[in-house]
A and B are shown apart, each in its own frame.
Chain A
């Protein structure tokens, strides 16, 4: 195995991005395409080669740390510039460069009409570099560096359409929430330095069982989880992800669906040695994941913007992964991470074809009946919906069932979480089929589409086709009672993971098929059978709700009429939790800061005597403080 390959894989996207950025003027589009897509594809091929080489090694020899130079040396603490190449990082590299290549190819067409063609590919290349750095880092400091850089790339790309104020606001929100996570991780790193004197993964994991006290290990893992939750949009740090849909759709597909947002899952799996020492933190992780997956699934049912539906579903799906990781089913979490990358990228890209075809429209109210015009997108979206809903045989089916089955086997807490997960699987099927029907079947929207829907050309269609195949068949790499390639592959990193028992699998299989069927059927009955039904259902509430006058609320009101209590909960969560509690807290903090700033501004009145007076008060205050210190 040649670990230098990892450096090349890491460097190529950065090189491409830097070349693009440094190009003195806007380069020709063909040049931009070559410099943008080329490094990505080569990186993917090299990663694949690395993977093949690794397959040839004994499982004991598959972990290599490639160290270049010592970055910092302070006393005993030494931090190297080093990459850790092992099955886990190679798996992440495959996902990042593989899905990334497809999305880059797609973008050459999708962004064709954008004036900032070069900037788009430069920033995307920078993102891929940062993401690879994150997964390849061999110590916590470089993990944090990568972690922060992907946040920066995400900030730049969410704000890509900087003319739109909401995009800039969303970018800022995402960045600030992510920095909160970064800081939690920095503090965790401090604790590790103080307690263990090293930040090197291998040394930390080796020393942790004896070197870290119970409290310290819980603190470290909880702080790391704050970082993970911020990046992976887990409650209560999830509010930035739906807003992040202001970015271009390929960005949403790559960063806010397939790769960056799953970094939290990667982090927990990477540091699982610590989580295994911290039962409380692990339970917290699992419960947070379960709460998130349920909350996000219910909220997704009332969204009108197609990309927001997908954003909430991303939060929900990551909730599954986080829950699995909290319950110790690391293999299942990584498995779902991979299949989710396939089908969520597929969904974003195929919905992106619709948006592209409609010249930018994103509201479900402006869609319907598009299946006749955009057949390819219809089929692709349908495959994605089947996969995410977990229809048997598709990718999502195997991975989601493995998470649920592992939960069933994970004690009392696991059973409760299993119930939540199974229920949410039904809701998932409902909202995804709703998305499918409202977009592609039924009548055209009143007033038409505004433009004639344009089918997409091959650079967009080909990646979608590849992802569709992966979403359909990619799940077969690990089949219950059959073969366990994922678990075998990850064994050098996460140890031999026990596979769920037969009872767990049978119960889960039966339940999930049932709830998915119910959810899909409900969506079919409401949205597909009779196009007038949603309106009729909504009509019953006309007398009691004046909201109907408001066209935008249509959706909310009939949805409420249909599913009743669940729906009420969704509304409640959306209104209270979303706009009320979490945002209220953020808003409160911001207005506090602004208020104090204005106060300070008023105190700064330009008069010398005020300044002298404050100084003297400062002296008196320091004197009092020192007197207290001395006499204490």
Chain B
């Protein structure tokens, strides 16, 4: 057992408690800036430690934590998202006067995600998922004076708790079938068996797919997504759609590609169907949305579908493609949300598509980043979104699921309908003179996040080879390499 390898998680957890206490200190500076600084320093330190421990698997706490390349790669994804979100929320009304709570909730959520990424045990996995969710329930409702924020939090809580119960029941059945909660032992116990004559495993597979599908907001378990995304403070929405999605996919990969790999032939189809449903429902529903946050919510449903293709393929190659696409998805979504956040500061109806009218012409750099993000989300070559989809569809073809690749391709065409609409409005639209300006100072750090995300979209495509190498070795470590 090597406790040192768990330092990234411990650092983030410690950062969460420290920044909570910082908010209580009597000095004004410590109250206002302390929590943010502590959070950022903690996250950076955790990122450094993740890179330091990049290497072979270390099993901590009797094998309930698997510190391997997979968990380290995901740590980087979560940490990047958390840092970006903290930078994006510097002037967020929900965070003012409660910096401590805000930063510590984000860090707690991040720690939960890191637990999910490193989970070698169903209990750890469940605790991680709940830790990240419970923190997010609060964050979604953080602007308690705003009815919609409350509604968003309460809805997320109730529907989320149902989702958690379904997932938990699935875990219980899996434990009942195999007698262990360790993923490695589950894999051993299931080797050579099929679902025939095993009702417990059967039920477990269905319920776990549904429960994790809920967290990843894949159809038909996605319906909370647009409502919660719209009502929550926008930086939190950005966090949910990037980091939570990554955590859910990590859980999928840990449980299915890692633990249940022996019965892959039995579950690949239902995950494929969930993926297809998410692609179709998300892309179609997004067509008629006028609110950017809702539009991006439905788009994230569709993206969850693409990501699940790699899980459905049930292979190392599929896991590699999913990991690469998670990276690409992270930066393109952050770019899109950063621009929404900037607009929200500037105008009153900032989260609508109409608020972007002509914006790209006035701020060409942001316009270029928005263009990169939208085209990349739509899978336009040669951006990283295209490369990721290419690999995902390729893994589906390789796994004899050509139909899934075709549905993904059709979904991409449909998605152009709304991504292009956003771009059309941003470049070609004109904002009516009467439109109300809010006139708040636009956050500089949000601009920084925007530009950095834009560069990352390009960089991930240009430097695809080393990134893919990292993804491949992370995917291989899922199966114990």
Binding site for B on A (CB under 8 A): 21, 69-75, 141-142, 144-145, 147-149, 152, 159, 162-163, 168, 171-172, 175-176, 179-180, 182-183, 186-187, 190, 193-194, 593-594, 596-598, 600-601, 603-604, 606, 608, 610-612, 614-615, 617-619, 621-623, 625-627, 629-631
Contacts and interface: CB of A to CB of B under 8 A. Distances in A.
Contacts of B236: none
B390 A629 contact: no
Interface in B157-216: 158-159, 162-163, 166, 194-196, 202-203, 205-207, 209-210, 213-214
17 contacts: A71-B465, A72-B464, A171-B424, A176-B417, A179-B412, A182-B381, A190-B394, A190-B397, A193-B394, A194-B398, A597-B285, A597-B287, A615-B159, A615-B223, A622-B274, A629-B195, A629-B266
Given A71-B464, A148-B381, A611-B159, A168 B424 contact: yes
A593 B421 CA distance: 15
A72 B412 contact: no
A622 B270 CA distance: 7
Most-contacted residue by chain A among B195, B196, B270 (CB, 10 A): B270
Given A606-B227, A622-B210, A186 B390 contact: yes
By DSSP majority rule, is chain B's interface helix, strand, loop, or mixed?
helix
A150 B186 CA distance: 51
Contacts of A162: 424, 427-429
Interface in B360-406: 364, 368, 375, 380-382, 386-387, 390-391, 393-394, 397-398, 405-406
Nearest to B194: A630
B206 to A, nearest CB: 5
Given A72-B468, A612-B162, A604 B220 contact: no
B223 A611 contact: yes
A149 B372 CA distance: 12
A593 B195 contact: no
B231 to A, nearest CB: 10
A162 B214 CA distance: 41
B220 A183 contact: no
B44 interface: no
B428 A159 contact: yes
A618 B221 contact: yes
Contacts of A603: 223
Given A187-B409, A618-B221, 20 more contacts: A21-B364, A70-B465, A72-B387, A73-B465, A74-B472, A145-B382, A149-B381, A159-B427, A175-B416, A176-B417, A190-B405, A608-B159, A612-B159, A614-B221, A615-B166, A619-B166, A622-B273, A626-B266, A629-B195, A630-B266
Contacts of B288: 594, 597-598, 601
Interface in B224-252: 224, 226-227
B381 A623 contact: no
A619 B409 contact: no
Contacts of B469: 73
Which 9 residue pairs spanning A and B have beta carbons closest together? A162-B428, A618-B220, A145-B382, A611-B223, A600-B285, A597-B288, A148-B381, A597-B287, A145-B381
A615 B381 contact: no
B347 interface: no
Nearest to A23: B364
A603 B284 CA distance: 13
Contacts of A145: 381-382
A545 to B, nearest CB: 40
Interface string B40-59: 00000000000000000000
